[in-house]
Structure 1
């Protein structure tokens, strides 16, 4: 069974302390409007009126042709790291998601990318992991391509 993996706490703590984003900018501080502001650390929607960080994030080590960068939201205050075997809250709020498998060397495994309706997401993840070349999967917004979460094979 796949494991949903949130951004590591040390990465999020660095952003909260003013660490620079993927483009060398300080994270912006905004107030959540309560709609479509998913925190990539707790994997929950940021409540309306709560302060949040908006920044460019690259969920890869190093730079290479497949190392996509995009905007993400984070709770500005401490939150517990989300994840586990159950589909997280932030992956239940959209009608569909873009998912794609990556190899151990962080390259897209061609033929794995699909826009999946949310009710079919778990089955689609399982189908992608049936390919032995897939080391992990990224879940992204189907409309804006924003990184949502990583999915790993159960160890």
Structure 2
């Protein structure tokens, strides 16, 4: 049994953006056919060539925070099935050099626990170890190359 839960972008948040035809920052919702390399943050897999996707500005924060980071992410243009295995690290996501950006229970960055992982490292074991620390409440997994958010992880409920 996994000790963590993988949290993609909420389907309800994406539905609200689709209805408004814009992301939460006012950028137009512009679907286009995927080339097949785009990492989708709604279902945590790479897009298939020709799938309708959108590039949006997104932040995982739902309340104001000085740590709020927003950036570009790819999502399906229409609602998809989401991420089916939240107890498993996504095979298609953040397998290059990435940063496990740790936060404490007050939502502040936990600088002492920020960790960088690279191919050859155990992403799963590193994430489980970080989330097992009592002072770490959640982790934002980010690509080092692009800086964008891949997904959030929290201790399993």
Equivalent position to 1:151, from 126, 150, 153: 153
Instruction: Spell out, residue by residue over 1:89-134, the C-alpha distance to the aligned partner (whole angstroms, 9 max, x if none).
Output: 3326x32221111122322111121221244111211221232111
Q: Is the Cα–Cα contact under 8 Å of residues 60 and 106 in structure 1 kept in the other structure?
A: no
- The 4+ residue runs of structure 1 with deviation greater than 6 A are none
TM-score by length of 2: 0.87
RMSD of aligned alpha carbons: 1.7
- In structure 2, the partner of 1:45 is 46
In the superposition, relative to structure 1, how do residues 112 and 19 fare at CA in structure 2: closer, same or farther (>3 Å)? farther
Partners of 2:110 and 2:20 in 1: CA distance: 34
Partner of 2:76: 75
What is the TM-score of this pair, normalised by structure 1? 0.88
Q: What is the distance in 1 between the residues matched to 2:24 and 2:113?
A: 26
**Per-residue deviation, 1:9:** 1.2
Q: How far did 1:17 drift?
A: 2.4
Corresponding residue pairs, total: 153
Cα displacement string for residues 25-64 of structure 1 (whole angstroms, at most 9, x for unaligned residues): 22332221111x1111111111111111111101102332
Give the secondary structure class of the aligned counterpart of 1:66: coil
Q: Is the 8 A contact 2:132 2:155 kept in 1?
A: no
Which sits farther off after the overlay, 24-33 or 42-51? 24-33
1:2-151 paired onto structure 2 within 5 Å: 2-35=4-37, 37-82=38-83, 83-91=85-93, 94-118=95-119, 119-151=121-153
| CA distance in structure 2 between the partners assigned to 1:19 and 1:28 by the alignment | 8
Gapped regions of structure 2 (runs ≥ 5): none
